[in-house]
Amino acid sequence: MDKLMGVLEEKLVPIAATLGQNKYLRAISGGFIAIMSATIVGSLFTLLSNLPIKAYTDWLASSGFGSILALPSQATIDLIALYAVFFIAYTLAKEFDVDGAGAGLSALVSFFLVTGRTEGAYATAYLGAKGLFCAMFVALAASRLYIFVVKRGWVIKLPDSVPPNVANSFSALIPTGIVVSIFLAIAGLMTLTSYHDLHTAVFTIIQSNLMRFMGDNLFSFIFFQFMTNILWFFGLHGGNIVGSITNPIYTPLALENFAAYQAGQTPTHIISGSLGRCFISGGVGSMFSLAIIMCLWSKSSQFKTLGKLALPTTFFFINEPLIFGIPVVLNPLFFIPLLLITPILGTLTYFVMKIGLVPIPSGAQIPWTTPPILYGILQGSWKISVWEAFSILAAGLMWFPFFKVADNKAYKEEQGLTTAE
């Protein structure tokens, strides 16, 4: 075990730390976080208009109020690529200490330039999840080009007496003009290809294939679960590091499911951004279960007290008190459960959804602090809630033997200290 951890620490941690500091991955992650509030609000209004009460839904349809409740989702989730392109570009510019608003605006204009149009209207399909991958590409490329121009001083500089808002508008003029000109050329060149626009090319060549591979591939999903858990073991935020790679794929898959749910159809992507929370409770390692057994069966005052402190936080998916309090980080005793519990539960969850025993989550964008059981209801089915309850029990059974060893050790140490006094 020591040899394995030594190899992982020597080979993996430096790579993960480098990824965690990568400005472009941080920009993607930051951009998605920035738009989270809008997507959550849109999802909640959709859930409100699809409550499983026939009299209520019939009234929404007959009164016309249902179409009003649909507006928040249409203005948020259906346009998610627009928000993503602005905020990813904005965040990247901030990483380089450059005006984020100017970079975000130039990226947004560039995004519209490369979006295909039919009879004068923009292809609305690419303004939502389908255009998300292209939005990331445009945001990073446009923002980096904007940064390049600004860093070389190719800007209009006005006297200090000019109000800052006016000066900023003029300083952004040349960088924005260069960025827009380049993307205009790209848009023109794309019309000469069989794809006709950049969105179609990116979706066909890259995004659809990645979504097909990662969306239908249990092995890749479990691999990323392993990586997340290993990084947390070494004290690195595995969710943020791995999420910067997986979110651009799993989020569109969840949004495709949600679009099907809105249309009254059955979601088709088992693996999506909504799957993990169907079997993970209390953060990495499903530590809500660990907090429960610490409260109920601890002999040591250390574990009993820590369990009581961590129980309410893990209920809302915050488990740092356990990760750094026990600690789980760099603790060989807890390496195996931390590494294996969520991949095991993830595999089981995949297969019960595959055979139809548990429905596929709707893909609604729910706040990450949503407690277990309630999460399943908000994802469209009480059966998901029942599976969450089963997962909490199963995780507890897997945590228990490792917890008992640590608790007994802590208890003996406490007894020894008492005797010494």
CB 176 within 8 A of CB 106: yes
Q: Where are the alpha helices (DSSP H) in 130-279?
A: 132-151, 164-171, 173-190, 198-202, 208-215, 218-233, 238-262
Q: Which residue has the tokens 């679960």?
A: 225
pLDDT cut 90: percent of the chain above it: 46
Domain ranges of the chain: 2-205, 259-420
pLDDT cut 70: percent of the chain above it: 94
- Cβ neighbours for 14, distance < 8 A, ≥ 6 positions apart: none
* Radius of gyration from C-alpha coordinates of the chain: 25
Residue 288 is predicted with a pLDDT of 95
Of residues 135, 166, 145, 151, the one with CA closest to residue 251 = 135
* Residue 367 preceded by cis peptide, ω within 30: no
Cβ burial of 14 (10 Å; 0-12, 13-18, 19+) is exposed
**What confidence tens digit (pLDDT) does each residue in 97-151 have?**
998 999 999 999 999 999 877 667 776 778 888 888 899 999 999 999 999 999 9
- Cβ neighbours for 191, distance < 8 A, ≥ 6 positions apart: 197
**What confidence tens digit (pLDDT) does each residue in 275-328 have?**
999 999 998 999 999 999 999 999 999 999 999 999 999 999 988 889 888 888
Tokens describing residue 137:
């590409």
The CA distance from 21 to 152, in Å, is: 24
Query: What is the DSSP-derived secondary structure letter of residue 88?
Result: H
pLDDT at 353 over 70: yes
Query: What is the DSSP-derived secondary structure letter of residue 357?
Result: S
**The overall pTM is greater than 0.75:** yes
**What confidence tens digit (pLDDT) does each residue in 214-262 have?**
777 899 999 999 989 988 888 777 887 888 788 888 988 999 899 899 8
Residue 95 is predicted with a pLDDT of 93
Of residues 128, 51, 45, 120, the one with CA closest to residue 82 = 128
- Cβ neighbours for 104, distance < 8 A, ≥ 6 positions apart: 85, 86, 87, 89, 90, 93, 143
Residue type for 12, please? L
- 415 — pLDDT class (breaks 50, 70, 90): confident
CB 246 within 8 A of CB 227: no
Distances (CA, A) of 109 to 43, 82, 106, 272: 27, 10, 5, 30
- Cβ neighbours for 407, distance < 8 A, ≥ 6 positions apart: 294, 297, 298, 299, 300, 303
Residue 142 is predicted with a pLDDT of 96
pLDDT at 56 over 80: yes
No. of helices (H) and no. of strands (E), the chain: 20, 2
Tokens describing residue 383:
């059966």
pLDDT at 16 over 80: no
Residue 420 is predicted with a pLDDT of 40
Residue 11 is predicted with a pLDDT of 66
CB 271 within 8 A of CB 214: yes
CB 252 within 8 A of CB 130: yes
Residue 5 is predicted with a pLDDT of 60
Of residues 320, 300, 321, the one with CA closest to residue 403 = 300
Summarize the confidence of residues 363-389 as an average pLDDT: 92
Beta bridge partners of residue 121, listed in sequence order: 118
Summarize the confidence of residues 319-343 as an average pLDDT: 89
CB 319 within 8 A of CB 310: yes
Tokens describing residue 68:
């009003």
Of residues 279, 294, 305, the one with CA closest to residue 393 = 279
Cβ burial of 416 (10 Å; 0-12, 13-18, 19+) is exposed
